[in-house]
Amino acid sequence: MIDLWFVIIAFLWTGYFVLEGFDFGVGMLAPLVSGNAEERRQSLQTIGPVWDGNEVWLITAVGAMFAAFPAWYAGVFSSYYLPVVLVLVGLIVRGVGLEWRGKVASPRWCDLGVVAGSALPAFLWGAIFAGLLFGRPLAALLGGAFTLAVCVLHGAVFLTLKTTGPVRRRARVAAMAASAVAVPVAVFALSGLGTLPALVAMAALAAATALIWRRREGWAFAATAGAIVLTTLAVFVELHARPLPGLTLAEAASGPYTLTMLSWIGLITLPFVLVYQGWTYWVFRKRVRVGAV
């Protein structure tokens, strides 16, 4: 049960980073790839139907940590209290910006909030998990730089898949520029792990660069998503042995009865969540065009 729930939590964090990763990237890039107000609406509309649903993965991941491994949850969120609060502030500011920008006369401050509210969590999540693994400020900064660069790349590729016209062309340029940063940063950030998933994640980012140049946008998006999955896997493989200094998973876990009840709840609810979110992405699968938003 302990290992099962660790795998479930790793799966939930992976889903969050893959889905919110392109949300963060689009939020940061929207002003750069858009030449006017209509194009900014076009860019942000690509995540408009899904961004709030993607955040449910974070709520579920944190809730599962709290229920299945309360000592781990308490240790992580008390040790990184300030960064976690800043993540929440960023998510709130981004949400307000996305919801209010269509309801105010001048959305400039809303757009600025979306950029800042996307960049802050994208950087801080990497810093937090790097801090958990290595416990050094330099490693945390490098981890933050890695997740920030990968989110920008992931979001740029997503924009090339979901938009048309000038925004799509600018997003492709942004993806090529982001890949030139993300790949070398990944080499420095992931080489410290030295595991097979980390090495394959670096290869996936390099493949994404080649695919972007060849205009294979769908495969490039699969490569960036795969790099995020493999990086998260590498992180949780390390955390399995030592989730916190001086703490094992067995010591951090709830009792057998609690884990059994959680398993039944997850078995009933998780498939419905996955099916519903998959259906949402299917409904909104078409490209977003100027004038249609």
pLDDT tens-digit map of 173-183: 999 999 999 99
Q: Give pLDDT tens digits for 49-65.
A: 888 888 889 999 999 99
**Is residue 262 included in any domain, yes or no?**
no
Q: Give pLDDT tens digits for 144-184.
A: 999 999 999 999 999 999 998 899 999 999 999 999 999 99
Q: Which domain holds residue 110?
A: 1-256
**Is residue 275 included in any domain, yes or no?**
no
CATH number at residue 203: 1.20.1630
Q: Which of 19-28, 121-130, 280-289 has the lowest mean pLDDT?
A: 280-289
Q: Residue 81 — pLDDT band, cuts 50, 70, 90?
A: very high
Number of domains in the chain: 1
pTM, full prediction:
0.91
**Is residue 277 included in any domain, yes or no?**
no
- Tell which residue, 82, 93, 108, 17, has the closest CA to residue 54: 17
Do the Cβ atoms of 241 and 260 come closer than 8 Å? Answer: no
**Is residue 271 included in any domain, yes or no?**
no
**Is residue 292 included in any domain, yes or no?**
no
**Is residue 281 included in any domain, yes or no?**
no
Does residue 292 register a pLDDT over 60? no
**Rg of the chain (C-alpha set):** 19
Q: Give pLDDT tens digits for 250-290.
A: 888 888 888 888 888 888 888 888 888 888 888 888 888 87
Q: Give pLDDT tens digits for 202-238.
A: 999 999 989 998 889 899 999 999 999 999 999 999 8
**Cα–Cα distance between 42 and 114 in angstroms, integer?**
14
**Is residue 218 included in any domain, yes or no?**
yes
Q: How far is CA 143 from the centre of its chain?
A: 13
Q: Give pLDDT tens digits for 93-122.
A: 999 988 888 787 778 888 899 999 999 999
Measure Cα distances from 251 to 67, 68, 242, 244 in Å. 14, 11, 11, 11
**Is residue 216 included in any domain, yes or no?**
yes
* Res 291: pLDDT: 58
* Res 245: pLDDT: 81
Mean residue pLDDT across the chain: 89
